[in-house]
Amino acid sequence: MTIARTLACTAAVLALAACATTPPPPATPRESTAFTLATDQPLTPEQQAMRFDQADLSIRVLPEDRAIDAVAVLDFTATAPLHRLEVELDTLLAISSVQIDGVEVAADRWSNPEGRLTVQLPRPLAAGQSVALRVAYAGRPRVAPRAPWDGGFVWSTAPSGEPWIATAVQGEGCDIFWPCIDSPHGEPGRVDLHITIPSTLSAPSNGRFLGTVDHGDGWTTWNWSAKSPNTYAIALNVGPYEEVSGQYESRFGNTIPMNYWHLKSDAPDKVQALFAQFPKMLDFFEANVGPFPFGDEKMGVVETPHLGMEHQTINAYGNGYKIDGRGYDWLLQHEFAHEWFGNQLTNQNADDMWLHEGLGSYMQPLYARWLLGDRYMQRELANQREGLINKFPVVSGTPKTEDEVYKGDVGPGNDIYSKGSLISHSLRMLIGDAAFHQALTRLVYGTDDPRPGAFRPLYRSTRDFLQIVNQVTGQDYGWFFRGYLYNAALPVLTQTREGDVLRLEWATGNGETFPMPLDVEIDGRVRTVAMTDGRGQIAAPAGAHVLIDPQNKVLRQMDVIDALQAYKAEQKR
């Protein structure tokens, strides 16, 4: 983006703000359409026929009115003949102007009835031709009922009295506040952000910081540029922030900026204690997965009035510096994991969301071990095990929207986190650390030897992960993926004794053979039972103490957990 274009966009949004009047609040707040509140829907033929090259967003945030005035310039290149452009934008935001390549589009040539903005092109585009869509819009965006789970804008007040504002739109999508292709496959090549706010506040955001422009009238524009951002990860953060910064010398030879924007009212010792965790987490992830994907931009964290969200290079943190005996801040670590599992690796469809949440959640037990040892890893795994629902499969094998995955009454819900983590643990125990690390690295980067600057974000599916595991190990682990991911019920192990012989047999929800080997401890001595064809046996003298799976490597149905869950359910009645 040229300086001239930056200043032009800034001037445009300021001019729009000066001439626009924010409408008075209606008696009953309007709600976004059902279409807007859904995300991860199939791309239209028009969206499939164009490449999203760049978004240039100039957004003026009006804290007193809880409103925004904005101008978005979206650059596309046709990959097939194209007659119209289609993007998404919430109908709560009134569009005042639509232009194609700088020429105003007549009102009867564009429409946005349910939140899908359709613009007729003045002339068809051939493959390879480019076009710039400019949209000027303003209004009161959706207020988050319960961020980050039910998202939108959060209009809050900092302890020191100033406005404290954030966006969190994973479940609803980017169209809540900017015109976009509301799909994981709608990532633009670059997003430039020009956020104009009261000069007493700060606006940390995605990507590299390009400086501020003080307009001399009480308003300042903060400029940022981010490469290949996940669409819902574009975030506005406005507040009375102070910044802590440092540098991390990566094991891969590059230097990574670290930045934390915290409220000026925070206790300095708490701020420094949290910031001291940044390099430790970077070291862990780079050692166990690979290079920080956005090292040429920053590891950025901002304190928010909601719990948290994995906004690319500006992770939202709202855990309040809690100490819980883990030895690290779980929220910071979980959201940071999504820089790899979510932002670098993006799911092909919401049905593959466990690749984000399950692999991301498994990084916490692994990090606990990295810091404090096996006892702390096992504690986290045990806590995850107690919460499994097992009502729906983690992966259905059919395309899903995010709501159909995250809402536990129609999909796996929280099982994509904890069950995904425990499945990952069983896989690591089965194939070994070296193979698991190689498979994870190849999944995330597309190569076994990623180097900073030599890879780009990838789309991945559960099928891709299985194929990679098979390639790395030289074996077919389809039975493992089907037994755990595509069945709601956990595998059940049956034990029978016949004299001095212990017989073991697996049963899965779909009746398929499950040859998961088992460690069996007999009077303190551990042996591995192969479980070929899902069955196995081992000598166990009468009176011997037998312990199945002493290190808890294998995720399976357990009576003790079922009894605990039934007890807790009864106590709630």
* CA distances (Å), origin 122, targets 129, 132, 323: 14, 12, 59
237 CB contacts (<8 Å, ≥6 apart)?
165, 166, 167, 203, 204, 205, 261, 302, 304, 314, 316
86 is in an annotated binding site: no
357 assigned binding-site residue? yes
Is the backbone peptide bond immediately before 148 cis, with ω within 30 degrees of 0? yes
What backbone phi and psi angles, to 5 degrees, belong to 297?
-110, -80
The answer to whether 163 touches 63, Cβ cutoff 8 Å, is yes
30 DSSP assignment: -
3-class SS letters over 357-370:
HHHHHHHHHHHHHH
- What are the tokens at 308? 């948290």
Give me the residue label for tokens 């059902």.
Answer: 34
**437 annotated among ligand-binding-site residues:** no
The DSSP string of 191-212 is EEEEEEEETTSB---SSEEEEE
What is the C-alpha separation between 524 and 537, in angstroms, rounded? 18
Contact at 8 Å (CB) between 527 and 489?
no
Angle at 344 between CA 339 and CA 349, to 5 degrees: 110
Q: Is the peptide bond before 188 cis (omega within 30 degrees of 0)?
A: no
Give which of 357, 428, 349 is closest to 396, Cα–Cα: 349
Distance between CA atoms of residues 516 and 327, nearest Å: 33
Annotated binding site: 334, 338, 357
Annotated binding site for Zn(2+): 334, 338, 357
